[in-house]
Amino acid sequence: MTAPQRTPLYEAHIASGAKMVDFAGWEMPIHYGSQLKEHEIVRSDAGMFDVSHMTVVDISGSDAKSWLQKLIANDVAKLGFEGKALYSGMLNDDGGVVDDLIVYLTATGYRMVINAGTTKKDLAWMDKQSAGFDVQLQVRRDLAMLAVQGPTAIAKVCSVKPALAEQIQALKVFQGLPSSDWFYARTGYTGEDGLEIMIPADQAITFFNELKAAGVAPIGLGARDTLRLEAGMNLYGHDMDETVSPLQAGMGWTIAWNPEERDFIGRKALEAQKAAGVPMKQVGLVLEGRGVLREGQKVVVDGAEGIITSGTFSPTLKHSIAIARVPAATGATAQVDLRGTLTEVRVVKMPFVRNGKKVFE
**Positions in the binding site for another protein (CB under 8 A):** 31, 34-36, 222, 226, 290-292, 294, 312-313, 315, 339
CB of 315 to another protein, least distance (A): 7
Residues 6+ apart with CB under 8 A from 32: 13, 16, 17, 18, 19, 38, 217, 218, 219, 220
Report the residue number, 120 or 339, with the smaller CB distance to another protein: 339
Amino acid type, 330? T
Report the residue number, 187 or 312, with the smaller CB distance to another protein: 312
Q: SS3 of 13, please?
A: helix
> For residue 222, with 0-12 CB atoms within 10 Å meaning exposed, 13-18 middle and 19 or more buried, which class applies?
buried
Report the residue number, 172 or 290, with the smaller CB distance to another protein: 290
CB of 181 to another protein, least distance (A): 37
Report the residue number, 100 or 239, with the smaller CB distance to another protein: 239
- The secondary structure of residue 315, as a DSSP letter, is T
Report the residue number, 31 or 325, with the smaller CB distance to another protein: 31
Residues 6+ apart with CB under 8 A from 293: 285, 287, 308, 311, 312, 320, 321, 322, 336, 338, 345
Report the residue number, 216 or 229, with the smaller CB distance to another protein: 229
The sign of the CA dihedral 165, 166, 170, 175 is negative
CB of 51 to another protein, least distance (A): 20
CB of 292 to another protein, least distance (A): 5
Q: Which of 245, 248, 249, 247 is nearest to 235 (CA)?
A: 249
Distance CA 186, CA 43 (A): 16
CB of 34 to another protein, least distance (A): 6
CB of 298 to another protein, least distance (A): 15
